[in-house]
């Protein structure tokens, strides 16, 4: 597909240009956030990382905010399911 090796120098209009190295991305392990307890556990981990200086406190605040929003959505989905069950029970009795 390519006529040159990736990351090898490129000649453009008589000038030799060094190719920019292809960035390598390390995959971040997936964090389980399936329920409120998972969110709480991850929030505690982020808090400890911010407290110890492993992550910037502003980044920690942003992550905590996102986790709290995920937690709220999980709560709302659970409440929605419970209401649906109650409505189905109530409709069956009427």
Convert the pLDDT of each residue in 23-53 to its tens digit: 677 777 899 999 999 999 999 999 999 999 9
Q: Residue 15 — very low, low, confident or very high, per pLDDT cuts 50/70/90?
A: confident
Would the pTM of this model clear 0.75, i.e. be above it? Answer: no
- Token pair, residue 67, equals 């986790």
Domain that holds residue 76: 33-80
Give CA 39 to chain center in angstroms: 12
- Domain total of the chain: 1
Task: Classify residue 7: in a domain, yes or no.
Answer: no
- 11 versus 30: the higher-pLDDT residue is 30
Distance between CA atoms of residues 31 and 38, nearest Å: 9
């Amino acid at each position: 597909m390519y006529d040159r090796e990736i990351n090898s120098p490129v000649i453009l209009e008589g000038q030799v240009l060094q190719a920019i190295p292809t960035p390598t991305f390390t995959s971040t392990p997936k964090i389980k956030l399936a329920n409120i307890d998972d969110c709480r556990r991850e929030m505690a981990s982020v808090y400890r990382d911010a407290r110890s200086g492993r992550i910037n406190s502003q980044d920690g605040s942003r992550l905590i905010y996102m986790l709290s929003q995920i937690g709220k959505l999980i709560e709302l989905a659970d409440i929605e399911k419970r209401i649906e069950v109650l409505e189905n029970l109530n409709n069956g009795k009427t």
